[in-house]
Chain A
């Protein structure tokens, strides 16, 4: 029986998020104190050893990333919390920031100490103005208490574009430029905000940090799937009974998420597909539901864990119809910098629309596959690289939905 395990949501609903004293009473800021008692490299080693991997989608080893920034020689370094949360159907970062903002600040402060930064930014989704208020209050309280030391945190409101969640586009946006990804390398850890070494982590990643520091790497590494340990906050949407959120160990299977935690498909209908990780996530058919939600297991089936959004579709859903909304989304969200995504997302939407409208031929299917294949390896950033996944996975697993509509 799948069970919830709350690490990042440890205080959710238990404390008053707008009262730092309650956070402290619940053990808050002990980890920061402990971290500051450690040598920076030892601290980073500990985080590395915990094998905490980024919860923003790319799954990079957190400690490893911090190490690069620690090693970089610079007069100024930055810590940035990625709270852009632009994925439709995803709201886990909002939950964390609303329910326990201090845990994010504490995680950032640990990072700041580890890499030697004294300035931090939280880049918060533009549609979350109330969260910005909460964060600002939390920062004020932390400052008043003096718990952050000389580490200063500023909240920046997102520009409203999906791609601004991509770390280099986020940097451009904070710098006041057009929100467009930069080429990597150099990675932000070496050259980020204003050219300075910058650590960018997701809200959920930061919220894990205090617990890891407090309870130790070994403890954390033993939870969930060994290659991607810890928990993941999932938000369930679509044709499912329990449209809510859960935090589960990463060894949980998709089946457990859908049927046990999610309570199964709504209205007694039959399951057709689940898309995990947000708009760019691959579509998963029933036959693959025994996969665990860990990063690598998902990759192995051509899917992603991504942000942890779980979108369930019942038997009445037409995959071409669902996918056509996604291709439209990406056509709209492409920043337009690189040719294969700028032109490709539009063509992909055009081709899917053509098929949906009963005008498509098998040549269009072939072209879609070629286009998707090229985009996924040739686009400049993750948006264009991931955009074809829903098309390619549905073409693979639900070919009949397409073929039925061909002329």
Chain B
């Protein structure tokens, strides 16, 4: 342990601690901008500078390690002047656009501007005047708001191994730019949205489409139907002042009805359905010598990644559409028929933790219902905005039921929201299908948790099936490289593009740290435990759809509506 004095308070901290960590441990808060709890230290914004006794220079608290006997002062006039001047410098090259900004009231720079009472900035306003980039259907970039902290670059290169963002130019002209071209769409970007979470300001965000929903709701001839993805519920509370996990599903549904959705259904229904289709697909591949390992296909950021970086492995992808797209195809066929609604009038909206879903629903092949299967994808954050706009008091709102035919779900669908959940759900079903025995303990603990790569072995009547799970695309890359090299020992691999799985998706409430992701994961399993039915094949509505409409997994209707194909992206990559 190292003895240090911070603002006169003596403490001892582990060797290698930074001033920032040491200060944190005694409750001294030092402002930061470029620092990110799960990333390498950057030391580039300099707002964390402090005085260290004996040093002429100020020290950046986020990078400077403490030494024995170090005396630090974090709030002297010199320190305050430096921090304030640096903030003024940053702000003088930053649009004064808070009122119009997607990060208004959720912006690290804005918070610091408030804390340091920036009033009359002595530096003249001069922004770069760069155009916004709306080239992708999922994300926009507003490079003028970029403060060059580089957190997005690390998220994209280190966490996701996509390398869609890089630095260009030097000095005052330095900027973060898409690689391989001027617009994000030219880059290998997979639209995972992890850069949004990394960004302290409003320089990257989801493409907002709330107005399209409001227009659909306003149209009396349109039937607005919604589906909620498994990961949304645990996080939506964060958007409306509740704790993580603190929004009961029935209250959430009631809130959506308040906004004006005509029918509230659930992606969890198609998550259960996915298990039936995908589980059988796996068994078929195992029995008939199909391409193995089979990869899950419910994460559209991952699909983009595979199509971009591993086009040679597309045959390994399960042909199952994602639950969102299965839902879309069924809502305008099966559900429309059961509900006696003209599918042409249905406006199908999905509420997703994901930015890549906005792209997925726009894929040209996603129209098997005869219409565009999913008309609109709104992220958890956009729904949060709608809830706030609507002034709903969730404490006083009485719960409401989900609508029939595609609203029932099991615990197995709930856990789709977390990394390992699809695998666990599949194992719960595949085990019973293969062995014909009842699975007493449905909890496969090894598949759970935020660690990047997990693996397990399951004995199915004497056949040992080896499975692996990866979350975060750099972890996926490790498994893919093994597959490409022919050294992968697995039969089945679950990949989710985002760290922690969908609960950490690019459309979730801004999540600066993995600690928050872990909290959400824990809530997912609490919800699973609370479900009466926890195996997908026991979902009564899933049973019903097979009896009445699909007839059998991998059957003719399934093939038509629930399965898809993949295409190499042929993009230039770094």
Interface residues of A (CB under 8 A from B): 161, 178, 183, 185, 331-340, 342-347, 350, 363, 367, 370-371, 373-374, 377-380, 385
Contact = CB atoms under 8 A, between A and B. Distances in A.
A325 B344 CA distance: 69
Given A339-B147, A378-B86, 12 more contacts: A185-B65, A333-B171, A334-B170, A342-B174, A343-B172, A347-B123, A370-B81, A371-B85, A377-B57, A378-B57, A378-B82, A380-B60
B46 A346 contact: no
Contact of B171 (A185, A335, A378): A335
Contact of A178 (B45, B65, B81, B167): B167
A342 B175 CA distance: 11
B41 interface: yes
A370 B77 CA distance: 13
Contacts of B118: none
- Cβ-closest 10 pairs across A and B: A336-B174, A343-B89, A334-B171, A346-B172, A183-B43, A374-B85, A336-B171, A183-B63, A378-B82, A374-B82
A380 B170 contact: no
A343 B60 CA distance: 17
Interface string B19-35: 00000000000000100
B93 interface: yes
Interface in B72-114: 78, 81-82, 85-86, 89-90, 92-93
B124 interface: yes
Nearest to B170: A336
Given A347-B92, A377-B57, A336 B169 contact: yes
Contacts of A331: 171-172
B172 A380 contact: no
A203 to B, nearest CB: 25
B418 to A, nearest CB: 36
Contact of B41 (A183, A338, A385): A183
B46 to A, nearest CB: 5
Nearest to A379: B46
B56 interface: yes
Given A183-B41, A347-B89, A340 B169 contact: no
Given A332-B171, A379-B46, A385 B122 contact: no
A365 to B, nearest CB: 12
Contacts of A339: 33, 44-47, 86, 89-90, 147-148
A345 B89 CA distance: 10
A343 B122 CA distance: 13
B68 to A, nearest CB: 14
B173 interface: yes
Contacts of A346: 171-172
Given A378-B82, A385-B57, A334 B172 contact: yes
B58 interface: yes
Nearest to A343: B89
Given A183-B41, A185-B65, A340 B173 contact: no
Contact of B44 (A337, A370, A374): A337
A327 to B, nearest CB: 12
A183 B82 CA distance: 19
A335 B148 CA distance: 12
Nearest to B87: A339
A161 B170 contact: yes
Contacts of B90: 339, 343
Interface of B: 33, 41, 43-47, 49, 56-58, 60, 63-65, 78, 81-82, 85-86, 89-90, 92-93, 122-124, 147-148, 167, 169-174
A378 B44 CA distance: 10
A346 B81 CA distance: 19
Contacts of B92: 343, 347
A377 B49 CA distance: 9
A335 B173 CA distance: 9
B395 to A, nearest CB: 42
Best-buried of A343, A347, A371 by chain B (most CB within 10 Å): A343
Contacts of B167: 178
A380 B183 CA distance: 31
A354 B44 CA distance: 28
B336 to A, nearest CB: 55
A188 B487 CA distance: 39
B170 A335 contact: yes
Given A338-B43, A342-B148, A347-B92, A377 B171 contact: no
5 contacts: A185-B65, A337-B44, A339-B90, A344-B89, A378-B57
Given A345-B172, A346-B172, A350-B124, A340 B85 contact: yes
Nearest to B166: A178
A180 to B, nearest CB: 9
B89 A377 contact: no
Nearest to A385: B57
Given A339-B90, A363-B122, A374-B81, A380 B44 contact: yes
A312 B96 CA distance: 45
A178 B147 CA distance: 18
Nearest to B150: A337
B169 A380 contact: no
Contacts of B169: 336
A194 B288 CA distance: 49
A337 B56 CA distance: 21
A374 B82 CA distance: 5
Given A339-B90, A340-B86, A343-B90, A378 B170 contact: no
Contacts of B46: 338-340, 378-380
Nearest to B41: A183
A336 B86 CA distance: 14
B148 A336 contact: yes
Contact of A342 (B57, B58, B171): B171
Contacts of B65: 185
Best-buried of B122, B147, B170 by chain A (most CB within 10 Å): B170
Contacts of A379: 46
B93 A343 contact: yes
Contacts of B44: 337-339, 380
A18 B169 CA distance: 40
B130 to A, nearest CB: 15
B18 to A, nearest CB: 11
Contacts of B85: 340, 370-371, 374, 378
A333 B33 CA distance: 24
A118 to B, nearest CB: 30
A374 B122 CA distance: 14
A113 B81 CA distance: 47
A345 B171 contact: yes
Nearest to B63: A183
A327 B64 CA distance: 29
B51 to A, nearest CB: 9
B172 A377 contact: no
Best-buried of A336, A345, A363 by chain B (most CB within 10 Å): A336
B172 A336 contact: yes
Contacts of B78: 377
A136 B373 CA distance: 67
A30 B546 CA distance: 91
Best-buried of A340, A350, A380 by chain B (most CB within 10 Å): A340
Contacts of A370: 81, 85, 122
A332 B173 CA distance: 9
Contacts of B124: 350
B146 to A, nearest CB: 12
A127 to B, nearest CB: 18
A371 B82 CA distance: 9
A397 to B, nearest CB: 21
Given A178-B167, A367-B122, A374-B82, A340 B60 contact: no
